Structure 1
Amino acid sequence: MIRVKFILQFLTVYTLLLYAASDKPNTIETDDSRLDRIEEMITNPNERIRTLENIIINQKPDILNLKIKNRVHERKFWRVSQILGRSSQTMATKVVGSYANDLKNSKIQEKHEVLVKKKRLLEGSMVTTPVPTQKAVTAFYAYMSKSENIPGTHHTLIFDTAITNENNGYHPFSGIFIAPEKGIYVFSFSIRLECHSYGPYELVKNSQVVGVVFSDIRQVCLQDQITGTMVITANKGDDIYVRTHATTSHIGLIPSDDNGRSSFAGWLILN
């Protein structure tokens, strides 16, 4: 307030001096009129000063309210700053903690991989018991590609077309199966008979007859098929084959064609 009054008084005096200096030289005024004018000029500024004082007094509550609001805003700003500061610290802690956990997990993973590699190396250097593998299957099936014409006694029948020959025990050029291993085998042979034929047929192991089948259709003219099936024990290297009887002569043809085959088969069931 004091500064405002001082400024107004200074402006008033300055204005009077300018006005006095700007008066024309030929203007003649009395001392009373000048004094009146000066008094009037001084009075008006005083009125203005009082008006300004009243305005300032009236604005004091607003100024106080603004100061209070400003303090409230400052407090709110300070609280928000604290909250942000704590949040930033918490977030930073979480980020650092997460990074630390990732680093820890990464180291654990590396250790695990190293242990796995060492285990593999140790397992590779250890002598392990080999897993037993399944043995090869022994089985064969063969038939005559053409008919056998009136075979004599003690004659080995040759089934020259081998369809199945697992473990290569059967020899189609000789008609003999050579046992590749010891075990129990099943053998079956089927002989097709021509019209008015006659004769027995033997399954032989080495020189021992182990089975015989017989057919006699001399009195009739028809086609026939006889079959013999035997289960025997054979040692490795034993010969098994089919032949005509050693003493009884065979009469007739042994056919084998698309209408019916004469065949020989065998397979290992237990070793």
Structure 2
Amino acid sequence: SDKPNTIETDDSRLDRIEEMITNPNERIRTLENIIINQKPDILNLKIKNRVHERKFWRVSQILGRSSQTMATKVVGSYANDLKNSKIQEKHEVLVKKKRLLEGSMVTTPVPTQKAVTAFYAYMSKSENIPGTHHTLIFDTAITNENNGYHPFSGIFIAPEKGIYVFSFSIRLECHSYGPYELVKNSQVVGVVFSDIRQVCLQDQITGTMVITANKGDDIYVRTHATTSHIGLIPSDDNGRSSFAGWLILN
């Protein structure tokens, strides 16, 4: 009694399998029909796409040329702006430096350099047996900064107040004798003395003094006011009698 049921069951299974096989085939045919029907649409789309591609290519060419021109203009404009910016920056730096310099000059002014005062002169020839109270004239001025020394009179006139150094050197001949004075105005500020009367030789004596002088003071070298001088004062290429002075502090 069970066999008929079993046969029915097997038949129904076969029917279902056949249905399963048949349905996919129908689906496949349906899809194929759809594809066939869509081929004209696809072809039209391809044609339109090519047209659009050509238009896009032309537009891109035009835009490419114009964008290149625009890029050149933009780059050129940027370069000019950059150049102008650098020039402006340099100008601003120079202005700042100038202001700093001007500020430093105002706060720390540069001291003005004062004129140098110094002289050196010698006798161009020998002085022949000078008497007492006789001003020695050193007529050849080698150095005369600030023009304080006067070679025609042998007198240095102080151009400004300060502390000065004066030095004179007197050449002596055989058997000579005498003192020599450095005088400021009428005041004797220094004296040197030589006595070689007992021997026959050449000698040189020097006196150096540091004094304070006011502007307009006269400073000069002379023989002693009361003691007589013996012998001449030589001055030639073998040895010079000279007078020098310079300002060390004002």
Unaligned 5+ segments in structure 2 are none
Equivalent residue, structure 1, for 2:100: 121
CA distance in 2, matches of 1:214, 1:157: 15
For residues 28 and 258 of structure 1, the distance between their equivalents in structure 2, rounded to whole angstroms, comes to 165
Partners of 1:122 and 1:35 in 2: CA distance: 111
Equivalent residue of 1:103, what SS?
helix
- Which stretch has the larger CA shift, 130-139 or 253-262? 130-139
CA deviations over 1:92-141 (Å, ceiling 9, x no partner): 49628826963994899599799989999999999999965322111111
Q: CA deviation at 1:25?
A: 95
Moved more, 199-208 or 100-109: 100-109
Q: 1:60–1:162: structure 2 CA closer, same or farther, 3 Å change rule? A: same
Task: Return closer, same or farther for 1:32/1:252 CA change in 2, 3 Å cut-off.
Answer: closer
Q: Structure 1's 96 and 152: CA in aligned 2 closer, same or farther, altered over 3 A?
A: closer
Q: Calculate the aligned-residue CA RMSD, in Å.
A: 15.4
Q: 1:191: which partner in 2?
A: 170
Point out the more displaced range, 155-164 or 39-48.
39-48
Residues 1:182 and 1:49: Cα distance change in structure 2 (over 3 Å):
closer
Distance 1:202 1:127, change over 3 A: same
Distance 1:82 1:124, change over 3 A: same
Give the CA deviation at 1:248. 1.2
The sequence identity of aligned pairs, in percent, is 100
Larger deviation: 36-45 or 107-116? 36-45
Calculate the TM-score normalised by the size of structure 1. Answer: 0.61
Decide whether aligned partners of structure 1 residues 163 and 100 sit closer, same or farther in structure 2, where only a CA change above 3 A counts.
closer
Q: How many residues align?
A: 250
Distance 1:117 1:230, change over 3 A: closer
Sort the Cα spacing of 1:89 and 1:158 in 2 relative to 1 into closer, same or farther, 3 A: closer
2:8 alignment partner in structure 1: 29
Structure 2 match to 1:231: 210
Of 15, 18, 41 in structure 2, the residue corresponding to residue 62 of structure 1 is 41
2 CA distance for matches of 1:237 and 1:158? 19
| In 2: Cα distance, 1:203 partner to 1:34 partner | 157
- Deviation at residue 150 of structure 1 after TM alignment: 1.0
Q: C-alpha displacement at 1:180, in angstroms?
A: 0.8
Cα deviation for residue 45 of structure 1 reads 48
Alpha-carbon distance in 1 for matches of 2:117, 2:10 = 157
In the alignment, the residues of structure 2 paired with residue 103 and residue 146 of structure 1 have an alpha-carbon distance, to the nearest angstrom, of 78
Distance apart, 1:85 and its partner CA: 4.3
TM-score (norm 2): 0.65
Distance 1:233 1:40, change over 3 A: closer
Change in 2 beyond 3 A, CA 1:24/1:231:
same
Q: Which runs of 5+ in 1 are unaligned?
A: 1-21
Deviation at 1:59, TM superposition (A): 22
Indicate how the Cα distance of structure 1 residues 40 and 220 shifts in structure 2: closer, same or farther if over 3 A, else same: closer
Does 46-55 or 22-31 show the bigger shift? 22-31
CA distance in 1, matches of 2:125, 2:203: 17
